[in-house]
């Protein structure tokens, strides 16, 4: 964000279609600049129209090729597309290896497609909050579909999956320890399953295992009970299975929008809860970090490492001290 731009002006420019202003805001979100939240707050009433699609899976399952193919399919239907490629980066160097420039070259000149990689420099759980922020900018820009691509199978990915309207989990056959390949939490986060690289040995077996696991497990805690996730076999590089995958996404969207759209509303309510908790967590940790810098985190840590201080008591004391620093602010009216 340039120091001179007022949040109102930036928000107005983005809503008027200024792509460079949008790109600057995304950069500010990724860098964790404090001004970004005010602009996002102003854009918030103008979001909610886009369809958020999450695509997640381990490294090497072919998510980038699949994203590429999906973008092509949606563009062929005249839909505009935003892509957020989440790229967990170093807490040590802040550098990201994977960049926009090596991705999605076939869509690079299409004005109906906007691609942004997130390097997530922030140290304290900023990944999910940044992803939501960038998706919100794309939404406010008027993109019809926003695809959020994440690498991994852990807690971070499940949290990102929670923000999407439709989430696809991508696996490949023969990943070795099949029982490890899909964890319970990740399994339950999927609305659509993709077995990519369908020519590899064991593709049918992998699909059958996923179906078996899905039929075993309950889908509790706010997830949609009325939807049985389909398992689709694809070969992203030559396009086989792509029409079936696009159709599976469409069916899920129709399911969310059926009966007045109460399922979509409920799902977005859950997503907003997760967003709120993420935002509070990020703000809390910024404040604790500021307090700790001030009071000598390194000294405390050395005392703990030398077994002269109990870390659990120290944590309680830090918490109490950080909270004492807080100025008064009103509780949001219900």
Residues of this chain, 135-194, that bind a second copy according to CB under 8 A: 151-159, 172, 175-185, 187-189
CB of 111: closest distance to a second copy in angstroms? 27
Looking at the Cβ atoms of 79 and 175, the one nearer to a second copy is: 175
Distance CA 119, CA 109 (A): 22
Looking at the Cβ atoms of 19 and 310, the one nearer to a second copy is: 310
Indicate which single residue of 33, 212, 265, 290 sits in contact with a second copy (rule: CB under 8 A).
265
Contact status: 296 vs a second copy (CB under 8 A)? yes
CB of 16: closest distance to a second copy in angstroms? 19
CB of 327: closest distance to a second copy in angstroms? 7
Indicate which single residue of 6, 44, 77, 205 sits in contact with a second copy (rule: CB under 8 A).
44
Tell me the number of residues near a second copy by CB under 8 A: 119
CB 189 within 8 A of CB 158: yes
Looking at the Cβ atoms of 8 and 316, the one nearer to a second copy is: 316
Distance CA 169, CA 150 (A): 10
Looking at the Cβ atoms of 23 and 213, the one nearer to a second copy is: 213
CB of 78: closest distance to a second copy in angstroms? 26
Tokens, residue 159: 């949290």
Window contacting a second copy (CB under 8 A); options: 19-27, 67-75, 76-84, 324-332: 324-332
Contact status: 201 vs a second copy (CB under 8 A)? no
Indicate which single residue of 18, 142, 211, 270 sits in contact with a second copy (rule: CB under 8 A).
270
Looking at the Cβ atoms of 177 and 201, the one nearer to a second copy is: 177
The gap from C-alpha 229 to its chain's centroid, in whole angstroms, comes to: 20
Looking at the Cβ atoms of 257 and 321, the one nearer to a second copy is: 321
Contact status: 198 vs a second copy (CB under 8 A)? no
19 closest CA partner among 93, 147, 114:
114
Looking at the Cβ atoms of 16 and 334, the one nearer to a second copy is: 334
Give one word for 174, left, alpha or beta, with left for phi > 0 and alpha for psi -120 to 50: left
CB 170 within 8 A of CB 68: no
Distance CA 286, CA 281 (A): 9
Looking at the Cβ atoms of 244 and 293, the one nearer to a second copy is: 293
Instruction: Output the CA–CA distances (angstroms, integers) from residue 152 to 97, 222, 284, in the order listed.
Output: 16, 23, 26
Residues 7-36 interacting with a second copy (rule: CB under 8 A): none
Looking at the Cβ atoms of 247 and 315, the one nearer to a second copy is: 315
Distance CA 216, CA 1 (A): 49
44 closest CA partner among 280, 256, 257, 275:
275
Residues 85-104 interacting with a second copy (rule: CB under 8 A): 87-93, 95-98, 102
Q: Is 96 helix (H, G, I), strand (E, B) or coil?
A: coil
Buried b / exposed e over 154-172, threshold 16 CB at 10 Å, is eebbbbbbbbbbbbbbbbb
Q: Which helix (H) or strand (E) holds 130?
A: helix 126-140
DSSP code of residue 197:
S
Give one word for 176, left, alpha or beta, with left for phi > 0 and alpha for psi -120 to 50: left
CB of 59: closest distance to a second copy in angstroms? 4
To 10 degrees, what angle do helices 262-295 and 311-324 make?
100
Each residue 209-238 as x (binds a second copy by CB under 8 A) or -, in order, gives: ----x---xxxxxxx---------------
Contact status: 257 vs a second copy (CB under 8 A)? no
CB of 232: closest distance to a second copy in angstroms? 19
């Amino acid at each position: 964000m340039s120091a001179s731009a007022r949040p109102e002006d930036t928000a107005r420019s983005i809503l008027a279609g200024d792509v460079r202003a949008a790109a600057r805001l995304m950069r500010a979100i990724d860098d964790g600049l404090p001004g970004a939240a005010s602009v996002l707050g102003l854009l918030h009433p103008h979001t909610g129209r886009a369809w958020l699609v999450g695509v997640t899976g381990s490294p090497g399952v072919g998510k980038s090729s699949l994203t590429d193919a999906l973008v092509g399919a949606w563009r062929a239907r005249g839909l505009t597309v935003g892509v957020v490629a989440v790229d967990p980066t170093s807490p040590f160097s802040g550098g990201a290896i994977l960049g926009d420039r090596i991705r999605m070259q076939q869509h690079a000149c299409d004005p109906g497609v906007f691609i942004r990689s997130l390097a997530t420099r922030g140290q304290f759980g900023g990944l999910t909050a940044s992803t939501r922020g960038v998706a919100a900018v794309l939404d406010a820009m008027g993109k019809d579909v926003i695809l959020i691509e994440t690498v991994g199978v852990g807690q971070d990915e499940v949290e990102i999956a929670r923000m999407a309207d439709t989430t696809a989990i991508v696996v490949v056959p023969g990943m070795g320890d099949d029982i490890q390949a899909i964890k319970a939490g990740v399994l339950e986060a999927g609305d659509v399953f993709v077995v990519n690289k369908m020519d590899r040995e064991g593709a049918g077996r992998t699909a059958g295992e996923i179906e078996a696991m899905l039929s075993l497990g309950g889908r509790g805690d706010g997830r949609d009970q009325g939807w049985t996730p389909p398992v689709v076999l694809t070969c992203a590089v030559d396009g086989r299975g792509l029409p079936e995958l696009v159709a599976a996404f469409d069916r899920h969207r129709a399911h969310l929008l059926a009966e007045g759209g109460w399922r979509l509303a409920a799902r977005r309510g859950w997503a907003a809860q997760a967003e709120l908790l993420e935002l509070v967590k990020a703000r809390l940790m910024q404040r604790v970090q500021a307090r700790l810098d001030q009071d000598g985190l390194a000294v405390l840590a050395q005392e703990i490492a030398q077994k002269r201080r109990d870390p659990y008591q120290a944590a309680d004391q830090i918490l109490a001290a950080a909270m004492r620093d807080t100025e008064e602010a009103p509780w949001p009216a219900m």
